[in-house]
Structure 1
């Protein structure tokens, strides 16, 4: 959520970032310029009443919503907060690519130098594949004291036709499905629109030729909503506080079968 939100806020666009993981919000607020973004602790249902122009889910977060009903609630929530003609934009990994077969300890190994923490060694590997669900584990070793952190997560890989059907069922119209820039064949990017209603005002920036122009959004002080809906649980740990100070780590707390642990994800994570 942090990088896109800050780039947009720097252009004078009002941005709302939503995340149910409190630790992630702490990391985002600590970034330079983080105070320019309004951040809400919760999910899409926590968004305040004002309607927004576009809504986005980034970093493949759609895969983290594994419960079908929670996924449909998210899409219905996006439909609710969007203005007439507004656009939700999201991406997800294409299951045809079978990316999880590359998630192993050898190919995922990274060492990240984290100021204030030292070298952080990380490895990730898929642990189970059951239909569209892929479970995986990340292991982190803090070089300063050798402390080991583990994070177990499960992702849902949805086929293109399934996502299109869910969007349609939520009252949203799929206009285009693209490859992600620089990653052809790996990800599906869905460009969607909320259909216009008869009560739409002529001043709506999306009303001109069916396009939403960033310049018009900026000059009219419209609200741009960046909706991040990773279903995670916050943990207040000493490690989280240490990693929060680093610009290299995006931290979230992850609830696992063994309890709750802190997860720091290097920017070039393979998942």
Structure 2
């Protein structure tokens, strides 16, 4: 006959202590969790109202009493957005501007930040200080001289005139500089001893390490360029060259506003940004900058 010993007193005390600790943690997390859910609902409610309103007919948008869900679901606003607003033309222009500007921004900011972080020259310190000081200058202040430069270079009324002024951002340079400062110099010295060139060190070592920063800046830069309104407004005069934000503003007339088309086109303009975030959010993680170094 096999007998089993009863649990000892210390084991019972440990189980009781664990249960009490879990119960205390649950009670302590109730209030923060409730506040977070309340904030989430408050932030999601206007977005859901905006999204559902795009499926309402024009006459229902201002009917009383207001309804959260559409009484009559319709896609007429989306159909008019494609037929009457030339939505695909403006979407293509915006995608070209945002994509090209983002690629150039990431590459130039990465190379500039690497030079400011890893090359020791007095004039580079002065340059880094000048770049950092640009973050304190509002972009609207330089719109007038910026327009003059773009016009004199022959880029007025072209997508290139919207792309070129925005390819180098002080924020992106600062992000890369701060990241590259955390990369050990021993890693670069080891690569030089192995015969790697300066371009090889940057492209084959530094760029892969900075992938989280590159993706973060790419997402933010793409969003900036996609939603930019002021710069395209002063550079573009030809309706065929309009970006999406300028085209949406043109729907607001002096006498009336086609709210059904405006809401539907606005929802469509948000889809690329949401898709971009959903695709790349898992890649925005920390990287191991000590990979390749021995203790």
**Fold-level match, TM-score > 0.5?**
no
More helix by share: 2
Structure having the larger proportion of residues in strand: 1
Q: Compute the TM-score of the two structures, normalised by the length of structure 2.
A: 0.24
TM-score scaled by length of structure 1: 0.25
